[in-house]
Structure 1
Amino acid sequence: MKKFLKITLRIVLGIIAFVALYLLSAWGISKITVDAEPGESNDVTMYILTNGVHTDIVVPVKTDQIDWSRELKFENTTGKDTVASYVGMGWGDKGFYLNTPTWADLKFSTAFKAAFALSTSAMHVTYHKELQESSSCKKISISKAQYARLIAYITQSFKTDSAGHFINIKTNANYGTTDAFYEAHRKYNLFYTCNTWANNALKVCGQKACLWTPADSPIFDKY
Protein backbone atom coordinates (compact mmCIF):
# COMPACT_ATOMS: atom_id res chain seq x y z
CA MET A 1 0.00 0.00 0.00
CA LYS A 2 2.80 2.45 0.89
CA LYS A 3 4.51 1.73 -2.41
CA PHE A 4 1.26 2.35 -4.28
CA LEU A 5 0.73 5.64 -2.45
CA LYS A 6 4.28 6.76 -3.24
CA ILE A 7 3.82 6.00 -6.93
CA THR A 8 0.45 7.78 -6.96
CA LEU A 9 1.95 10.82 -5.22
CA ARG A 10 4.82 10.97 -7.71
CA ILE A 11 2.39 10.81 -10.61
CA VAL A 12 0.23 13.58 -9.15
CA LEU A 13 3.25 15.77 -8.42
CA GLY A 14 4.57 15.10 -11.92
CA ILE A 15 1.28 16.21 -13.46
CA ILE A 16 1.21 19.35 -11.31
CA ALA A 17 4.81 20.17 -12.26
CA PHE A 18 4.07 19.64 -15.97
CA VAL A 19 1.00 21.89 -15.87
CA ALA A 20 2.90 24.58 -13.98
CA LEU A 21 5.82 24.46 -16.41
CA TYR A 22 3.46 24.54 -19.40
CA LEU A 23 1.55 27.57 -18.10
CA LEU A 24 4.75 29.40 -17.19
CA SER A 25 6.26 28.70 -20.61
CA ALA A 26 3.07 29.77 -22.40
CA TRP A 27 3.01 33.02 -20.45
CA GLY A 28 6.71 33.79 -20.88
CA ILE A 29 7.27 32.79 -24.51
CA SER A 30 4.08 34.52 -25.67
CA LYS A 31 5.50 37.80 -24.31
CA ILE A 32 8.35 37.63 -26.84
CA THR A 33 7.38 39.61 -29.94
CA VAL A 34 8.23 38.71 -33.52
CA ASP A 35 8.36 42.12 -35.22
CA ALA A 36 6.56 42.93 -38.46
CA GLU A 37 8.49 43.21 -41.71
CA PRO A 38 9.35 46.87 -42.36
CA GLY A 39 8.59 48.97 -45.42
CA GLU A 40 5.88 46.89 -47.08
CA SER A 41 3.00 48.35 -49.13
CA ASN A 42 -0.60 48.27 -47.88
CA ASP A 43 -2.34 46.39 -50.69
CA VAL A 44 -4.66 43.99 -48.86
CA THR A 45 -6.78 44.56 -45.75
CA MET A 46 -7.14 41.59 -43.42
CA TYR A 47 -8.29 41.13 -39.83
CA ILE A 48 -7.65 38.97 -36.81
CA LEU A 49 -10.83 38.12 -34.94
CA THR A 50 -11.36 36.37 -31.60
CA ASN A 51 -14.42 35.04 -29.81
CA GLY A 52 -12.49 35.24 -26.55
CA VAL A 53 -10.86 31.85 -26.95
CA HIS A 54 -10.16 31.18 -30.61
CA THR A 55 -8.49 33.37 -33.28
CA ASP A 56 -9.65 33.55 -36.90
CA ILE A 57 -7.68 34.97 -39.81
CA VAL A 58 -10.10 37.06 -41.89
CA VAL A 59 -9.30 37.99 -45.50
CA PRO A 60 -11.18 39.39 -48.52
CA VAL A 61 -13.43 36.85 -50.23
CA LYS A 62 -12.06 37.89 -53.61
CA THR A 63 -9.00 39.75 -54.85
CA ASP A 64 -7.01 39.54 -58.06
CA GLN A 65 -4.86 36.94 -56.26
CA ILE A 66 -7.56 34.49 -55.16
CA ASP A 67 -11.32 33.96 -54.99
CA TRP A 68 -11.85 31.88 -51.85
CA SER A 69 -15.50 31.22 -52.70
CA ARG A 70 -14.45 28.91 -55.54
CA GLU A 71 -13.39 26.31 -52.96
CA LEU A 72 -15.20 27.59 -49.87
CA LYS A 73 -18.55 27.59 -51.58
CA PHE A 74 -21.40 29.71 -50.24
CA GLU A 75 -23.71 26.74 -50.87
CA ASN A 76 -21.88 24.84 -48.10
CA THR A 77 -23.34 27.25 -45.55
CA THR A 78 -26.94 26.83 -44.39
CA GLY A 79 -27.80 30.41 -45.36
CA LYS A 80 -26.22 30.18 -48.83
CA ASP A 81 -25.90 33.99 -48.76
CA THR A 82 -23.46 35.16 -51.43
CA VAL A 83 -23.25 38.76 -50.19
CA ALA A 84 -20.05 38.75 -48.14
CA SER A 85 -16.90 40.81 -48.34
CA TYR A 86 -14.67 38.80 -46.03
CA VAL A 87 -14.11 35.20 -45.05
CA GLY A 88 -12.73 34.14 -41.68
CA MET A 89 -10.76 30.93 -41.36
CA GLY A 90 -9.63 29.12 -38.26
CA TRP A 91 -7.95 25.78 -37.70
CA GLY A 92 -8.81 23.58 -34.74
CA ASP A 93 -9.66 20.21 -33.25
CA LYS A 94 -12.48 18.52 -35.15
CA GLY A 95 -14.04 17.13 -31.97
CA PHE A 96 -14.20 20.56 -30.38
CA TYR A 97 -15.69 22.09 -33.50
CA LEU A 98 -18.35 19.49 -34.18
CA ASN A 99 -19.20 18.14 -30.73
CA THR A 100 -18.88 21.17 -28.45
CA PRO A 101 -21.33 23.92 -29.47
CA THR A 102 -21.00 25.46 -25.99
CA TRP A 103 -18.54 25.00 -23.11
CA ALA A 104 -21.32 23.24 -21.21
CA ASP A 105 -21.17 20.51 -23.86
CA LEU A 106 -17.45 19.90 -23.43
CA LYS A 107 -16.67 16.31 -22.54
CA PHE A 108 -13.50 15.13 -20.81
CA SER A 109 -12.87 12.68 -23.66
CA THR A 110 -13.00 15.49 -26.24
CA ALA A 111 -10.59 17.68 -24.26
CA PHE A 112 -8.23 14.78 -23.55
CA LYS A 113 -8.07 13.70 -27.20
CA ALA A 114 -7.44 17.30 -28.31
CA ALA A 115 -4.73 17.93 -25.73
CA PHE A 116 -2.77 14.84 -26.68
CA ALA A 117 -3.24 14.80 -30.47
CA LEU A 118 -5.59 11.83 -30.46
CA SER A 119 -8.18 13.25 -32.86
CA THR A 120 -8.27 14.92 -36.27
CA SER A 121 -8.55 18.60 -37.16
CA ALA A 122 -10.84 20.82 -39.19
CA MET A 123 -11.00 24.28 -40.71
CA HIS A 124 -13.91 26.45 -39.63
CA VAL A 125 -14.89 28.97 -42.29
CA THR A 126 -17.21 31.94 -41.67
CA TYR A 127 -18.37 34.58 -44.13
CA HIS A 128 -18.69 38.21 -43.00
CA LYS A 129 -20.50 41.06 -44.73
CA GLU A 130 -18.46 43.62 -42.83
CA LEU A 131 -16.23 43.91 -39.77
CA GLN A 132 -15.68 46.72 -37.31
CA GLU A 133 -12.49 47.17 -35.35
CA SER A 134 -12.72 46.53 -31.62
CA SER A 135 -10.73 44.88 -28.86
CA SER A 136 -11.63 41.52 -30.43
CA CYS A 137 -11.21 42.53 -34.09
CA LYS A 138 -7.99 44.14 -35.38
CA LYS A 139 -7.36 45.40 -38.91
CA ILE A 140 -4.01 44.75 -40.58
CA SER A 141 -2.74 45.92 -43.98
CA ILE A 142 -0.33 43.72 -45.91
CA SER A 143 1.35 43.71 -49.30
CA LYS A 144 0.44 41.44 -52.21
CA ALA A 145 3.64 39.49 -51.71
CA GLN A 146 2.81 38.95 -48.04
CA TYR A 147 -0.73 37.94 -48.94
CA ALA A 148 0.61 35.39 -51.42
CA ARG A 149 2.52 33.74 -48.57
CA LEU A 150 -0.58 33.81 -46.38
CA ILE A 151 -2.68 32.25 -49.15
CA ALA A 152 -0.18 29.41 -49.48
CA TYR A 153 -0.13 28.84 -45.71
CA ILE A 154 -3.91 28.74 -45.39
CA THR A 155 -4.54 26.57 -48.46
CA GLN A 156 -1.94 24.06 -47.29
CA SER A 157 -3.92 23.67 -44.04
CA PHE A 158 -6.91 22.24 -45.92
CA LYS A 159 -7.07 18.60 -46.88
CA THR A 160 -8.02 18.02 -50.51
CA ASP A 161 -9.69 15.23 -52.44
CA SER A 162 -8.22 13.39 -55.43
CA ALA A 163 -9.21 16.31 -57.69
CA GLY A 164 -7.47 18.85 -55.44
CA HIS A 165 -10.65 20.37 -53.96
CA PHE A 166 -11.19 21.25 -50.30
CA ILE A 167 -13.27 18.60 -48.51
CA ASN A 168 -16.46 19.98 -46.98
CA ILE A 169 -17.61 18.27 -43.77
CA LYS A 170 -21.33 17.56 -43.94
CA THR A 171 -22.69 18.37 -40.48
CA ASN A 172 -25.51 20.07 -38.59
CA ALA A 173 -23.04 21.49 -36.07
CA ASN A 174 -22.80 24.87 -37.78
CA TYR A 175 -22.56 27.88 -35.47
CA GLY A 176 -24.86 29.99 -37.65
CA THR A 177 -26.06 30.46 -41.22
CA THR A 178 -22.78 31.73 -42.67
CA ASP A 179 -20.24 29.08 -41.66
CA ALA A 180 -19.04 25.65 -42.76
CA PHE A 181 -16.38 23.08 -41.83
CA TYR A 182 -13.65 21.47 -43.92
CA GLU A 183 -11.17 18.67 -43.35
CA ALA A 184 -7.70 19.85 -42.31
CA HIS A 185 -4.14 18.66 -41.91
CA ARG A 186 -2.21 18.24 -38.62
CA LYS A 187 -3.46 17.37 -35.16
CA TYR A 188 -4.35 19.72 -32.34
CA ASN A 189 -2.32 19.39 -29.16
CA LEU A 190 -1.15 21.38 -26.16
CA PHE A 191 1.72 22.87 -28.15
CA TYR A 192 -0.07 23.45 -31.45
CA THR A 193 -3.51 24.96 -30.87
CA CYS A 194 -5.96 26.95 -32.95
CA ASN A 195 -4.22 30.13 -31.77
CA THR A 196 -0.79 28.73 -32.57
CA TRP A 197 -2.04 28.21 -36.13
CA ALA A 198 -3.30 31.80 -36.34
CA ASN A 199 -0.11 33.17 -34.77
CA ASN A 200 1.96 31.27 -37.32
CA ALA A 201 -0.20 32.73 -40.08
CA LEU A 202 0.76 36.21 -38.92
CA LYS A 203 4.43 35.28 -38.90
CA VAL A 204 4.17 33.81 -42.39
CA CYS A 205 2.83 37.08 -43.80
CA GLY A 206 5.34 39.22 -41.95
CA GLN A 207 3.16 40.71 -39.21
CA LYS A 208 3.61 41.20 -35.48
CA ALA A 209 3.17 37.94 -33.62
CA CYS A 210 4.24 35.97 -30.56
CA LEU A 211 7.28 33.75 -30.72
CA TRP A 212 4.81 31.03 -29.68
CA THR A 213 1.42 31.02 -28.01
CA PRO A 214 -1.37 28.53 -27.35
CA ALA A 215 -3.82 31.34 -26.44
CA ASP A 216 -5.51 34.23 -28.24
CA SER A 217 -4.97 37.12 -25.80
CA PRO A 218 -1.16 37.34 -26.26
CA ILE A 219 -1.71 37.78 -30.01
CA PHE A 220 -4.16 40.63 -29.51
CA ASP A 221 -1.89 42.22 -26.92
CA LYS A 222 0.54 42.87 -29.80
CA TYR A 223 -2.13 44.99 -31.52
Structure 2
Amino acid sequence: MKTILKLAARIISGFLLFITAYLLAAYILSRITIAEEAAAARDIAIYIKTNGVHTDIVVPVKSEVTDWSTQILFGNTVSKDSNYRYVAMGWGDKGFYLETPTWDDLTFSTAFKAAFALSTSAMHTTFYKTLKEDASCKKIMISKGQYERLVDYMRESFDKNPQGNFIYINTNANYGSTDAFYEGTGSYHLFKTCNTWANDALKASGQRCCVWTIFDTGIFLKYTH
Protein backbone atom coordinates (compact mmCIF):
# COMPACT_ATOMS: atom_id res chain seq x y z
CA MET A 1 0.00 0.00 0.00
CA LYS A 2 2.85 2.40 0.88
CA THR A 3 4.49 1.65 -2.47
CA ILE A 4 1.26 2.48 -4.29
CA LEU A 5 0.86 5.72 -2.35
CA LYS A 6 4.47 6.73 -3.08
CA LEU A 7 3.97 6.01 -6.78
CA ALA A 8 0.74 8.02 -6.83
CA ALA A 9 2.48 10.92 -5.07
CA ARG A 10 5.31 10.87 -7.62
CA ILE A 11 2.87 10.83 -10.53
CA ILE A 12 0.90 13.74 -9.09
CA SER A 13 4.08 15.69 -8.31
CA GLY A 14 5.41 15.04 -11.81
CA PHE A 15 2.14 16.18 -13.36
CA LEU A 16 2.05 19.38 -11.30
CA LEU A 17 5.70 20.08 -12.16
CA PHE A 18 4.96 19.61 -15.87
CA ILE A 19 1.93 21.94 -15.76
CA THR A 20 3.94 24.58 -13.90
CA ALA A 21 6.82 24.41 -16.37
CA TYR A 22 4.39 24.41 -19.32
CA LEU A 23 2.54 27.53 -18.16
CA LEU A 24 5.76 29.30 -17.19
CA ALA A 25 7.25 28.63 -20.63
CA ALA A 26 4.02 29.78 -22.27
CA TYR A 27 4.14 33.04 -20.31
CA ILE A 28 7.82 33.80 -20.88
CA LEU A 29 7.98 32.88 -24.58
CA SER A 30 4.79 34.77 -25.37
CA ARG A 31 6.30 37.95 -23.90
CA ILE A 32 9.43 37.76 -26.06
CA THR A 33 8.80 39.67 -29.26
CA ILE A 34 9.97 38.73 -32.74
CA ALA A 35 10.18 42.08 -34.50
CA GLU A 36 8.44 42.69 -37.80
CA GLU A 37 10.63 42.57 -40.86
CA ALA A 38 11.26 45.64 -42.96
CA ALA A 39 8.75 46.02 -45.77
CA ALA A 40 9.09 48.14 -48.88
CA ALA A 41 5.37 48.95 -48.86
CA ARG A 42 2.23 48.55 -46.80
CA ASP A 43 -0.22 47.52 -49.49
CA ILE A 44 -2.81 45.29 -47.85
CA ALA A 45 -4.74 45.51 -44.58
CA ILE A 46 -5.13 42.35 -42.52
CA TYR A 47 -6.51 42.04 -39.01
CA ILE A 48 -6.08 39.91 -35.92
CA LYS A 49 -9.34 39.33 -34.08
CA THR A 50 -10.04 37.55 -30.80
CA ASN A 51 -13.17 36.44 -29.00
CA GLY A 52 -11.21 36.53 -25.75
CA VAL A 53 -9.79 33.03 -26.17
CA HIS A 54 -9.23 32.30 -29.85
CA THR A 55 -7.37 34.38 -32.45
CA ASP A 56 -8.51 34.63 -36.07
CA ILE A 57 -6.58 36.11 -38.97
CA VAL A 58 -8.85 38.33 -41.08
CA VAL A 59 -8.02 39.08 -44.72
CA PRO A 60 -9.74 40.66 -47.73
CA VAL A 61 -12.08 38.28 -49.52
CA LYS A 62 -10.71 39.51 -52.83
CA SER A 63 -7.40 41.14 -53.71
CA GLU A 64 -4.92 41.06 -56.55
CA VAL A 65 -3.15 38.22 -54.72
CA THR A 66 -6.11 35.85 -54.37
CA ASP A 67 -9.88 35.50 -54.34
CA TRP A 68 -10.78 33.43 -51.28
CA SER A 69 -14.42 33.16 -52.35
CA THR A 70 -13.46 30.61 -55.02
CA GLN A 71 -12.60 28.14 -52.24
CA ILE A 72 -14.41 29.46 -49.16
CA LEU A 73 -17.83 29.64 -50.73
CA PHE A 74 -20.48 32.16 -49.74
CA GLY A 75 -23.00 29.41 -50.49
CA ASN A 76 -21.65 27.29 -47.63
CA THR A 77 -22.88 29.82 -45.07
CA VAL A 78 -26.43 29.96 -43.74
CA SER A 79 -26.94 33.49 -45.09
CA LYS A 80 -25.46 32.71 -48.54
CA ASP A 81 -24.90 36.46 -48.86
CA SER A 82 -22.05 37.31 -51.23
CA ASN A 83 -21.67 40.95 -50.20
CA TYR A 84 -18.79 40.47 -47.79
CA ARG A 85 -15.42 42.21 -47.88
CA TYR A 86 -13.47 40.21 -45.31
CA VAL A 87 -13.04 36.61 -44.28
CA ALA A 88 -11.67 35.51 -40.91
CA MET A 89 -9.88 32.20 -40.59
CA GLY A 90 -8.94 30.22 -37.54
CA TRP A 91 -7.46 26.76 -37.09
CA GLY A 92 -8.32 24.42 -34.24
CA ASP A 93 -9.35 21.02 -32.96
CA LYS A 94 -12.33 19.67 -34.89
CA GLY A 95 -13.93 18.22 -31.77
CA PHE A 96 -13.75 21.55 -29.97
CA TYR A 97 -15.21 23.39 -32.95
CA LEU A 98 -18.08 21.03 -33.72
CA GLU A 99 -18.94 19.43 -30.38
CA THR A 100 -18.28 22.21 -27.87
CA PRO A 101 -20.46 25.26 -28.63
CA THR A 102 -20.05 26.38 -24.99
CA TRP A 103 -17.59 25.42 -22.22
CA ASP A 104 -20.47 23.59 -20.51
CA ASP A 105 -20.47 21.17 -23.44
CA LEU A 106 -16.80 20.28 -23.06
CA THR A 107 -16.27 16.61 -22.25
CA PHE A 108 -13.20 14.91 -20.85
CA SER A 109 -12.92 12.86 -24.04
CA THR A 110 -12.84 15.96 -26.28
CA ALA A 111 -10.32 17.75 -24.05
CA PHE A 112 -8.06 14.68 -23.77
CA LYS A 113 -8.03 14.06 -27.51
CA ALA A 114 -7.28 17.72 -28.22
CA ALA A 115 -4.47 17.91 -25.67
CA PHE A 116 -2.67 14.86 -27.00
CA ALA A 117 -3.20 15.22 -30.77
CA LEU A 118 -5.67 12.34 -30.97
CA SER A 119 -8.22 14.03 -33.20
CA THR A 120 -8.30 15.92 -36.47
CA SER A 121 -8.33 19.66 -37.07
CA ALA A 122 -10.68 22.07 -38.79
CA MET A 123 -10.61 25.56 -40.24
CA HIS A 124 -13.35 27.92 -39.11
CA THR A 125 -14.14 30.71 -41.56
CA THR A 126 -16.36 33.75 -40.97
CA PHE A 127 -17.34 36.49 -43.40
CA TYR A 128 -17.60 40.16 -42.38
CA LYS A 129 -18.88 43.22 -44.21
CA THR A 130 -17.12 45.67 -41.91
CA LEU A 131 -14.63 45.48 -39.06
CA LYS A 132 -14.34 47.77 -36.06
CA GLU A 133 -10.86 48.32 -34.71
CA ASP A 134 -10.76 47.99 -30.93
CA ALA A 135 -8.93 46.04 -28.22
CA SER A 136 -10.09 42.74 -29.75
CA CYS A 137 -9.51 43.64 -33.41
CA LYS A 138 -6.21 45.09 -34.61
CA LYS A 139 -5.35 46.26 -38.13
CA ILE A 140 -1.94 45.43 -39.62
CA MET A 141 -0.70 46.84 -42.94
CA ILE A 142 1.57 44.46 -44.84
CA SER A 143 3.24 44.34 -48.26
CA LYS A 144 1.98 42.35 -51.21
CA GLY A 145 4.90 39.93 -50.89
CA GLN A 146 4.20 39.39 -47.19
CA TYR A 147 0.54 38.79 -47.95
CA GLU A 148 1.48 36.20 -50.58
CA ARG A 149 3.41 34.31 -47.90
CA LEU A 150 0.46 34.58 -45.50
CA VAL A 151 -1.87 33.23 -48.19
CA ASP A 152 0.43 30.26 -48.77
CA TYR A 153 0.55 29.52 -45.04
CA MET A 154 -3.23 29.70 -44.66
CA ARG A 155 -3.95 27.61 -47.75
CA GLU A 156 -1.68 24.87 -46.42
CA SER A 157 -3.85 24.74 -43.29
CA PHE A 158 -6.85 23.53 -45.32
CA ASP A 159 -7.13 19.87 -46.27
CA LYS A 160 -7.97 19.44 -49.93
CA ASN A 161 -9.74 16.90 -52.12
CA PRO A 162 -8.06 15.35 -55.20
CA GLN A 163 -9.22 18.33 -57.27
CA GLY A 164 -7.40 20.72 -54.93
CA ASN A 165 -10.54 22.20 -53.38
CA PHE A 166 -11.00 22.89 -49.67
CA ILE A 167 -13.16 20.19 -48.05
CA TYR A 168 -16.35 21.68 -46.63
CA ILE A 169 -17.73 20.19 -43.40
CA ASN A 170 -21.50 19.98 -43.64
CA THR A 171 -22.64 20.64 -40.08
CA ASN A 172 -25.26 22.47 -38.03
CA ALA A 173 -22.62 23.54 -35.50
CA ASN A 174 -22.25 26.98 -37.07
CA TYR A 175 -21.72 29.93 -34.72
CA GLY A 176 -23.85 32.26 -36.82
CA SER A 177 -25.19 32.88 -40.32
CA THR A 178 -21.89 33.89 -41.95
CA ASP A 179 -19.50 31.11 -40.97
CA ALA A 180 -18.54 27.66 -42.24
CA PHE A 181 -16.13 24.87 -41.36
CA TYR A 182 -13.56 23.10 -43.53
CA GLU A 183 -11.27 20.16 -42.90
CA GLY A 184 -7.87 21.23 -41.61
CA THR A 185 -4.37 19.81 -41.74
CA GLY A 186 -2.26 18.85 -38.75
CA SER A 187 -3.33 18.08 -35.20
CA TYR A 188 -4.11 20.34 -32.27
CA HIS A 189 -2.16 19.55 -29.11
CA LEU A 190 -0.69 21.09 -25.97
CA PHE A 191 2.08 22.79 -27.91
CA LYS A 192 0.07 23.85 -30.95
CA THR A 193 -3.20 25.61 -30.23
CA CYS A 194 -5.42 27.90 -32.28
CA ASN A 195 -3.35 30.84 -31.04
CA THR A 196 -0.07 29.11 -31.89
CA TRP A 197 -1.42 28.77 -35.43
CA ALA A 198 -2.34 32.47 -35.60
CA ASN A 199 1.05 33.49 -34.19
CA ASP A 200 2.77 31.31 -36.79
CA ALA A 201 0.70 33.02 -39.50
CA LEU A 202 2.09 36.37 -38.39
CA LYS A 203 5.57 34.85 -38.22
CA ALA A 204 5.24 33.46 -41.76
CA SER A 205 4.37 36.90 -43.11
CA GLY A 206 7.11 38.73 -41.24
CA GLN A 207 4.90 40.49 -38.69
CA ARG A 208 5.42 41.27 -35.02
CA CYS A 209 4.70 38.13 -33.02
CA CYS A 210 5.67 35.91 -30.10
CA VAL A 211 8.45 33.35 -30.01
CA TRP A 212 5.68 30.90 -29.06
CA THR A 213 2.26 31.23 -27.51
CA ILE A 214 -0.73 29.08 -26.64
CA PHE A 215 -2.94 32.03 -25.62
CA ASP A 216 -4.22 35.08 -27.48
CA THR A 217 -2.88 37.49 -24.84
CA GLY A 218 0.73 37.33 -25.99
CA ILE A 219 -0.23 38.14 -29.57
CA PHE A 220 -2.37 41.16 -28.71
CA LEU A 221 0.22 42.58 -26.34
CA LYS A 222 2.38 43.14 -29.43
CA TYR A 223 -0.30 45.41 -30.90
CA THR A 224 -1.47 47.44 -27.91
CA HIS A 225 0.14 50.65 -29.15
TM over 0.5: yes
Report the counterpart of residue 153 of structure 2 in structure 1.
153
Match of 2:76 in 1: 76
- The whole-number CA distance in structure 1 between the counterparts of 2:14 and 2:117 is 20
Contact conserved, 1:40 with 1:142, CA < 8 A, in 2?
Answer: no
The answer for the alignment partner of 1:166 in structure 2 is 166
User: Which residue is equivalent to 2:8?
Assistant: 8
Alpha-carbon RMSD across the aligned residues, in angstroms, is: 0.6
Q: 2-side partners of 1:218 and 1:111: how far apart? A: 23
TM-superposed deviation, 1:21: 0.3
Q: Give yes or no for the alignment of 1:218 onto 2:221.
A: no
Identity over aligned pairs, percent? 60
For 1:40 and 1:91, locate their aligned partners in 2 and report how far apart those are by CA, in whole Å: 30
Alignment correspondent of 1:89: 89
> Which letter maps to 1:37?
E
Listed one character per residue, the Cα deviations across residues 18-48 of structure 1 (whole Å, up to 9, x for unaligned) are 0000000000111110000124311100100
CA-to-aligned-CA distance 1:166-222 (integer Å, 9 cap, x gap) = 000010000000000000110000101000000000011111000000000110000
Give structure 2 stretches of 5+ with no counterpart.
none
Conserved in 1, the CA contact under 8 Å of 2:39 and 2:142?
Answer: no
Off by >4 Å, runs of 4+ in structure 1: none
What is aligned with 1:116?
Answer: 116
Tell me the CA shift for residue 54 of structure 1: 0.3
SS at match of 1:58: strand
Name the residue aligned to 2:140: 140
- The answer for the alignment partner of 1:62 in structure 2 is 62
Q: Which amino acid is the alignment partner of residue 64 of structure 1?
A: E
| Count of equivalent residues | 223
In the alignment, is the contact (CA less than 8 A) between 2:157 and 2:185 conserved in 1? yes
Deviation readout 1:62-101 (Å, 9 max, x if unpaired): 0011000000000101111111110000000000000000
**Cα separation, 2, equivalents of 1:69 and 1:212:** 31
So what's the TM-score if we normalise by structure 2? 0.98
**Unpaired stretches in structure 1, ≥5 consecutive residues:** none
- CA gap of 1:151–1:39, structure 2 versus 1, over 3 A, is closer
| Contact 2:30 2:212 survives alignment (8 Å) | yes
Q: Does the 8 Å CA contact 1:49/1:55 hold for their aligned counterparts?
A: yes
Amino acid at match of 1:208: R
